Amino acid sequence: MKKVQSKIFSASIIIASTATIFFACRKTNSVSGGQTIVNMVIGSVAGHVTDLNNVPIGNASVTAGTVTTTTDINGQFIIKNAQLNQNAGFVKITMPGYFDGSRTFLVNNNAVNNVKIQMIPKIVSGSFTTASGGAINVSGGGSVNFSAGNVLSQSNGAAYTGNVSVPTFYLNPTDANFNEFMPGDLRGINTSNQQSILKVFGMASIEMDDASGEKLQLATGKTATITLPIPSSMQANAPATIPLWYFDETKGLWKQEGAATKQKNNYVGTVAHFSFWAAGQLGQSIKFSATFTIDTSGIAFANKLVTISRPDSTTTNGYTDSTGTVSGLVPTNEMLTMKVFNDCGENVYSQNIGPFIADTAFASISVENGSCYSLDTSQYVNLSFNGNNYFWPSFHISENFEAGSYTVIIGGSPQNLSDSSTYFEGLIFTGNTSPGTYPISLYAIVNGTATYQAGGQSYDSTYSYPTTIVTKYDAIGGYIEGTISGWIKIFPSTATADSFSVSGNYRVKRTQ
Query: What pLDDT was estimated at residue 28?
Result: 37
Other Cβ atoms less than 10 A from the Cβ of 491: the count is 18
Please tell us whether the domain made up of 284-369 is placed in CATH 2.60.40.1120: yes
**Is residue 267 within 8 Å of 261, Cβ to Cβ?**
yes
List of residues 6+ apart from 504 with CB closer than 8 A: 381, 382, 383, 384, 483, 484
Torsion angle, alpha carbons of 318, 324, 337, 182, to 10: 0
Out of 3.40.1710, 2.60.220, 3.60.21, 3.40.50, which CATH number does the structure's domain 124-282 have? 2.60.220
- Beta strands 40-50 and 112-118 are parallel
H or E stretch at 431: none
Query: Residue 469: beta bridge partners?
Result: 437, 483
The predicted model gives 281-308 an average pLDDT of: 85
CA-based nearest residue to 118, from 205, 45, 50: 50
Query: pTM of this prediction?
Result: 0.68
| Contact between 11 and 342 (Cβ < 8 Å) | no
Measured between alpha carbons, how far is 196 from 198 in angstroms, rounded to an integer?
7
pLDDT tens sequence across 123-160: 999 999 999 999 999 999 999 999 998 899 999 999 99
The sign of the torsion formed by the CA atoms of 75, 76, 81, 82 equals: positive
Q: What count of other Cβ atoms lies within 10 Å of the Cβ of residue 12? A: 21
DSSP letter at 422 equals: G
pLDDT digits (tens, 9 = 90+) for 232-265: 999 999 999 999 999 999 999 999 999 999 999 9
| Pairwise CA distance, residues 181 & 251, whole Å | 18
pLDDT score recorded for residue 21: 37
Q: What is the pLDDT of residues 403-458, one digit of tens each?
A: 445 666 665 544 333 333 456 777 776 666 788 888 888 877 766 667 777 765 43
Amino acid code (one letter) for 192: S
Structurally, what CATH architecture does the domain formed by 23-120 represent? Sandwich (2.60)
Q: Reduce the DSSP state of residue 468 to 3 states and report it.
A: strand
pLDDT digits (tens, 9 = 90+) for 168-187: 999 999 887 888 899 998 88
